[in-house]
Chain A
Amino acid sequence: EPEVTQTPSHQVTQMGQEVILRCVPISNHLYFYWYRQILGQKVEFLVSFYNNEISEKSEIFDDQFSVERPDGSNFTLKIRSTKLEDSAMYFCASMGDSSYNEQFFGPGTRLTVL
């Protein structure tokens, strides 16, 4: 069964460093998303991406964040200068057809900022 994959599963970085989180969405999906979940808190929408551009973004998704689809398979989230409060689980999701709204989540990358 097709699935969304994410790498790495755990990333540890120093405050102020740049990190890139990688995702491979399900191959025929068209819509891509990043979410974060701080430990013990709700899943928070960061950004949606369609047709090679950002479709929607939340207030959390400020200038420190960027997304890219560098090739036909990968979808990345970059955090330019990490802060302690960026420590969270980051989930990538993909969706095939907006009329169904069925998002499939990847396993997540746990980001720890020291």
Chain B
Amino acid sequence: QKEVEQNSGPLSVPEGAIASLNCTYSDRGSQSFFWYRQYSGKSPELIMFIYSNGDKEDGRFTAQLNKASQYVSLLIRDSQPSDSATYLCGSNTGNQFYFGTGTSLTVIP
């Protein structure tokens, strides 16, 4: 069974702080890893994807991948109240994609 596991939270951080979201995956054949943001009642929006070990930065967001540990994380710097959402971690094997249950993040003003 190919699984992506996330801590469902909720995670609360004060405005301006760093939010750290974590994810593990079971399939070592997974090729790429994604972070999506989903507001309540809305569709997922891609934040970023990563496929190489190490860090990938895009604005306030940094994704980290450690294939040896089968671990993916997302750091959100200078968190804003508008970042309050559910964050979905996902992976793909070929053209099949898997998502975790999501971590609920609340940024407190």
Contacts and interface: CB of A to CB of B under 8 A. Distances in A.
A110 B22 CA distance: 29
Nearest to B44: A105
Interface string A2-30: 00000000000000000000000000000
B88 A104 contact: no
B95 A50 contact: yes
A102 B49 contact: yes
A104 B95 contact: no
Given A43-B88, A101-B34, A102-B49, A107 B97 contact: no
Interface in A37-65: 41-45, 48, 50, 55-56, 58
B69 to A, nearest CB: 21
Nearest to B38: A43
Interface of B: 31-32, 34, 36, 38, 42-46, 49, 51, 88, 90, 92, 94-102
26 contacts: A33-B97, A42-B88, A42-B101, A43-B44, A43-B88, A45-B96, A45-B99, A48-B95, A48-B96, A48-B97, A56-B94, A58-B96, A91-B43, A91-B44, A101-B31, A101-B49, A101-B51, A101-B92, A102-B46, A102-B49, A103-B34, A103-B46, A103-B97, A105-B36, A105-B44, A108-B43
